[in-house]
Structure 1
Amino acid sequence: MTNATIRLTLRVSDERADPKELDELTAGLRRELLSLDVDSVTPLRTGNSPTGTKGADLVVLGALVATIATPELLASVVAAVGAWLESRGQRAVKVEVDGDVLELTGLSSRQQQRFIDEWLRRRAQR
């Protein structure tokens, strides 16, 4: 990986959550990530506002965009997402960088940790 800014897309999912709860979960994850040395964490926005309307793009429910300055911070962000999920049951977060997706769940397991380690190794080789 180069030392260019890295853009991560994070998508929170919970089949049982209503839109308000999903929005609250996403805001909680955003607060958690902002406690790290990230450049920014903002809601993901679409480029398509409804026809005939003025104003900003629409916010994608359950989705965030984080930017970090160094590849070394990627492991910290993934660890923070994993820790945030641990107390949140069956929820999941998909982390995507350059089309490479890692899905994290609140279930701790050695297999999930192996997936995380492999994903981070793959990212480090780019």
Structure 2
Amino acid sequence: MPTVSVLLTVASEGPELDAEERDEHAAELGRALRELPDTAIGVPDGGPAPEGSKGVSGLLGVLSVTVAVSRKALGAVVEVVRRWVALEASRKVVFEVDGDKLEISGATSDQIDRLVAVIVDRHGRPKP
């Protein structure tokens, strides 16, 4: 079955998170996403590590999620993200697939539902 990769970037509505906090939040979200069936979670390669760093080349606070191209699979990922964001008012996640971005933060459930429907309709079917 074809798959699609989704980038999830963890941020904050309030004070900016430092790199360690962003990474901790991303790890927490990753643990929640790992409970979904047939979902691969990873950290996208950020290219070469900056000079003087400890050699970490992944992007901090960013997860790569690979799921089957289906409305059900994409919808499940968005639902986990939505529940995770709802736990704390300052949480924000940018959901990106094939250049389309959806910011999940303080929006109402109805607003998020409409945006999710657009993303899932656009990317929840195999491309011809």
Q: Shorter-chain TM-score category?
A: 0.7 to 0.9
Give yes or no for the alignment of 1:41 onto 2:41: yes
Q: 1:25 to 1:106 in 2, by over 3 A?
A: farther
Aligned residue for 2:68?
Answer: 69
What is the identity, as a one-letter code, of the residue corresponding to 2:64?
V
Q: 1:5 to 1:56 in 2, by over 3 A?
A: farther
RMSD: 2.3
Matches within 5 A, 1:100-119: 100-119=100-119
- For 1:29 and 1:84, locate their aligned partners in 2 and report how far apart those are by CA, in whole Å: 7
Q: Would you say the 8 A contact 1:44–1:63 is kept in 2? A: yes
Aligned residue for 2:23?
Answer: 23
Q: Would you say the 8 A contact 1:87–1:106 is kept in 2? A: no
**What stretches of structure 1 move > 4 A for 4+ residues in a row?**
none
Q: 1:122 to 1:70 in 2, by over 3 A?
A: closer
Provide TM-score, normalisation by structure 1.
0.82
Q: For structure 1, which runs of at least 5 residues remain unmatched after alignment?
A: none
Q: 1:57 to 1:24 in 2, by over 3 A?
A: closer
**1:12-52 deviation digits (Å, cap 9, x = unpaired):** 11152222221111110000000111431112221223469
More deviation, 108-117/58-67: 108-117
Provide TM-score, normalisation by structure 2.
0.81
- The alignment-based identity, stated in percent, is 32
Aligned residue for 2:124?
Answer: 124
Q: Would you say the 8 A contact 1:45–1:57 is kept in 2? A: no
Q: For structure 2, which runs of at least 5 residues remain unmatched after alignment?
A: none
Q: 1:106 to 1:31 in 2, by over 3 A?
A: farther
Aligned residue for 1:93?
Answer: 93
What is the identity, as a one-letter code, of the residue corresponding to 1:62?
G
